[in-house]
Amino acid sequence: MNNERIYQVLQGPVFSEKAQVLGDTAGVQVFKVALNANKLEIKKAVEQLFGVEVVKVNTTITKGKTKRFGKTLGRRSDVKKAYVTLKAGQDVEMADLGDTAENAAE
């Protein structure tokens, strides 16, 4: 898998309370991925990009909500999330955004 496809498949991490709890307790990392990405591509992309061993990948597609913008109706985009279970003792190193926000405030 080439680098361009890796960055197309993995669109970024999901920062939510559920993702935080899963990461701390079960060793599961949650990523926002492309709608056309399959589990094998997601597994290879995480292994190549972060240098970790992936045990399994679960995916879910969240349908976009219909929202109103004044008189017109619009629709939010569908989102596909991948729940990536890593081998015990391994972790994905990502930038800690909380520290940079605190440093910028000082």
**Residue-range domains of the chain with CATH:** 3-105 (3.30.70.330)
Mean pLDDT, range 68-91, rounded to an integer: 93
Q: What is the pLDDT of residues 11-41, one digit of tens each?
A: 999 999 999 999 889 999 999 999 999 999 9
Q: Do residues 62 and 42 lie in contact, with contact meaning Cβ atoms separated by under 8 Å?
A: no
In the chain, the amino acid numbered 70 is G
Q: Do residues 42 and 9 lie in contact, with contact meaning Cβ atoms separated by under 8 Å?
A: yes
- Span of 19-23, 32-36, 50-54, 92-96 with lowest mean pLDDT: 92-96
Q: Do residues 29 and 87 lie in contact, with contact meaning Cβ atoms separated by under 8 Å?
A: no
User: 76 pLDDT band (50/70/90 cuts)?
Assistant: very high
105 has a pLDDT exceeding 70: no
The model's pTM is 0.81
Question: What's the pLDDT score for residue 101?
Answer: 46
pLDDT above 70 as % of the chain: 88
